[in-house]
Amino acid sequence: MKVRPITTIKTIVTGIEEAGAGTKLFTLADPDRWELPPFKPGAHIDLHLPNGLVRTYSLCNEPADNARYVVAVKREADGRGGSRALHDEVGIGDVIGVSLPRGGLDPGAGIARHVFIAGGIGVTPFLSMARHLVQTGDAGFVLHLIVREEVPLAAHLAPLIDAGRVVVHCTSRAGRPDLAALIGEGGADTLVACCGPEGMTEDFEQVTAGWPAANVHIERFVAPPPVIDPDTKPFTLSLARSGAEIQVRAGQTMLAALQEGGIDIATSCCGGICGACKVGWIEGKPVHRDRILSPYERERYLMVCVAGSDAERLVLDL
């Protein structure tokens, strides 16, 4: 049976920098110093770690800096193991497989004002965007960084803080700021984005509930709990390229059924927030439960880790 190819790029670790707040910056480059595949500001890449784990991180360098990928990794002692492996086991010269970049923020035509809300290490994708906007001079922006005390990536943020582009809010001194006040009035020419802990992103969602979807962007640290639908029914996946038919049992994820059928699918978060398992769909009635695809993208794609089907048959572009 044909399988879906997984594209990874061979990179080597060329730099590791202590960046404060238990955070390290890892610089990855092509072994022969060729340019790396292009990316949007704040795009994600999956790191295929030497111990077999696959973890997703936001790029924090700007797209014009295309000879390297730079990711910031905060060591989470109680996490799933990826950050510990990077901090404790990975060194200069080590080889790491990297996925093609995906996602990221698109400055877009007609956007005159950007407001970014970041919680702690959630600043990383916005550092990339801020650098891009400064370099291109395309639009105005302000980045509100909410921390308890210590500022992550302080040396890299310092020029933006000095320029008034980054405003630091220390909750240990002044409490948590009002997100609605930070965001201000909406408009077609304003794009707002948030990356941080779940409580922050939930508040951000409430504040921006009335905004056009195209003007709001959210990134999450952790996937939300899986949606359990007691009324779910079995359905059939038809793979257009291979001609295979795969049965999805009631309560089974589409991803698990595909893997049982020998289909190789790239995965990382398994919760609909990273975009690694995006697959095109051709016919049927998918149920989208991800937190990443836009309404326009949902007309063509789904995330097999969380998506379901409201029809007995769903045709995938596999």
- For the chain, the structural domain boundaries read 8-99, 113-220, 235-316
**Predicted local distance difference test score (pLDDT) of residue 107:** 67
Where does residue 216 rank: exposed (0-12), middle (13-18), buried (19+ CB within 10 A)?
Answer: buried
**Predicted local distance difference test score (pLDDT) of residue 36:** 96
Beta bridge partners of 10: 97
Right CATH number for 235-316 from 3.40.109.10, 3.30.428.10, 3.10.20.30, 3.30.70.360? 3.10.20.30
**Predicted local distance difference test score (pLDDT) of residue 95:** 95
**Predicted local distance difference test score (pLDDT) of residue 109:** 64
> What's the Cα-to-Cα distance from 202 to each of 13, 28, 208, 209, 303, rounded to whole Å?
35, 33, 10, 10, 21
Query: At residue 70, what is the residue type?
Result: V
**Predicted local distance difference test score (pLDDT) of residue 3:** 41
Buried b (16+ CB within 10 A) or exposed e, 273-312: bbbbbbbebeebebbbbbbbbeeeeeeebbbbbbbbbeee
**Predicted local distance difference test score (pLDDT) of residue 2:** 40
Q: Coil, strand, or helix at residue 101? A: coil
Where does residue 98 rank: exposed (0-12), middle (13-18), buried (19+ CB within 10 A)?
Answer: buried
Contacts made by residues 52-56, CB under 8 angstroms, sequence distance 24+: 53/80, 53/81, 53/82, 53/85, 54/266, 54/267, 54/268, 54/276, 55/80, 55/82, 55/83, 55/86, 55/268, 56/268, 56/269, 56/274, 56/276
Report the C-alpha gap between 238 and 241 in whole angstroms: 9
Domain 8-99: top CATH class: mainly beta
pTM of the predicted model, to two decimals? 0.81
Report the C-alpha gap between 267 and 277 in whole angstroms: 5
> What's the Cα-to-Cα distance from 166 to each of 70, 112, 115, 116, 163, rounded to whole Å?
20, 17, 10, 9, 8
**Predicted local distance difference test score (pLDDT) of residue 138:** 65
- Residues in the chain predicted with pLDDT less than 70, given as ranges, are 1-6, 107-109, 138-139, 224-225, 227-228
The CATH number of 113-220 is 3.40.50.80
Report the C-alpha gap between 222 and 76 in whole angstroms: 12
SS3 content of the chain, % helix, strand, coil (to 5): 20, 30, 50
Q: Cα dihedral sign for 114, 120, 125, 130?
A: positive
